[in-house]
Amino acid sequence: MTLPRTGSSSASEGAPSGDAHSEFDGETIKIRRSRLEYGDGGAMWRLARESGVLEENAEYTYHMFSHFFGETSTVADLNGRAVGFVAGFRPPYRQDSLFVWQIAV
């Protein structure tokens, strides 16, 4: 399986600086690299629930994750709808590390 190549977007593409885009079957997947917002938690919860393989935590867990760990987590969008996420955080005692909690695609 070959994954689509991801490149940085430019301001002329109308995307916020720091976001990345991949083209998949002619459609653009946008990977947010800016801080997540509290509202992103609902989409993360939906993806975890619909995955059928991830442990489904309470919805508020994902809202807390997007609010408190929004700088170390990201969401991938396709046509304005969340299609994947990576949830992670830096342990307080190891700020040079990243603990990845869940990945959904």
**Cα–Cα distance, 89 to 98 (Å, whole number):** 6
Cα–Cα distance for residue pair 75/62, rounded to 1 Å: 12
59-91 pLDDT tens trace: 999 999 999 999 999 999 888 889 999 999 999
Question: What CATH architecture applies to the domain 35-104?
Answer: 3-Layer(aba) Sandwich (3.40)
Going by C-alpha positions, the residue among 76, 73, 71, 77 that lies closest to residue 100 is 73
Q: What is the pLDDT of residues 19-51, one digit of tens each?
A: 555 555 566 777 776 788 877 999 999 999 999
H or E element, residue 101: strand 99-104
The residues spanned by each domain of the chain are 35-104
Residue 81 has a pLDDT of 87
pTM of the shown model = 0.71
